[in-house]
């Protein structure tokens, strides 16, 4: 890579463009069901995506730019690291200008309930991961996948709603967009 190419990638608007291009390709990818690349079986139902809102699209693009950011309990920004609710609050504020806050359970109470079959990219998905309702939250990105900040493996990552672990713990979905 030339010095000029490296400098152009460090430009925030250029970097945002590259992330957006990656996200479009990622969201447009054909998702197969059955055995996942990691060898695990998808056991949950496949979701047929509804078209995203403009705000939802921006949330997904911004969330994808934070992949591999470190986990930190109570973390609320990329420099400190994120926990699940801190990640959601930060991304919604930065990408969509929507203020959400508090724990995953508090965020769930603030959003409008939607069915799993009504999920659009940018909506929120909630799980019972600590033997208490709404203890984990992620952002749905499309094709049955969501991005979240799990404490396990310590980085913002993408997982499949149909994986055994998350299918068994899925509780609800919420939207903040019309």
Residue 43's φ and ψ, nearest 5 degrees, are: -115, -20
What is the distance between the alpha carbons of residues 19 and 176, in angstroms, rounded to a whole number?
23
- Out of 16, 21, 30, 136, the active site residue is 136
- DSSP-assigned states of every residue in 25-86: HHHHSPPP-SB-TTSPBB-SPPP-PPPPPHHHHHHHHHHHTTTTPBB-TT-EETTTEE-HHH
What is the distance between the alpha carbons of residues 33 and 18, in angstroms, rounded to a whole number?
28
The question of whether 16 is a catalytic residue gets the answer no
User: Residue 123 in contact with residue 173, Cβ under 8 Å?
Assistant: yes
The question of whether 18 is a catalytic residue gets the answer no
Positions annotated as catalytic residues are 84, 136, 148
């Amino acid at each position: 890579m030339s010095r000029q190419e490296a400098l152009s990638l460090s430009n925030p608007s250029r970097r945002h463009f590259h992330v957006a291009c990656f996200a479009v390709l990622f969201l447009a990818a054909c998702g197969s069901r059955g055995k996942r690349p990691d060898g695990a079986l998808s056991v949950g139902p496949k979701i047929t995506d509804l078209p995203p809102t403009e705000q939802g699209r921006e949330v997904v693009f911004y969330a994808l730019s934070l992949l591999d950011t470190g986990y930190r309990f109570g973390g609320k920004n990329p420099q400190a690291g994120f926990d699940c609710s801190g990640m959601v609050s930060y991304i919604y504020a930065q990408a969509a200008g929507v203020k959400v806050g508090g724990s995953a359970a508090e965020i769930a109470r603030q959003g409008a309930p939607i069915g799993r079959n009504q999920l659009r990219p940018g909506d929120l998905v909630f799980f019972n991961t600590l033997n208490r309702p709404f203890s984990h939250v992620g952002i749905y990105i499309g094709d049955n996948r969501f991005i979240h900040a799990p404490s396990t493996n310590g980085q913002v990552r993408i997982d499949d709603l149909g994986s055994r672990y998350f299918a068994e713990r899925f509780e609800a979905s919420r939207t903040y967009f019309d």
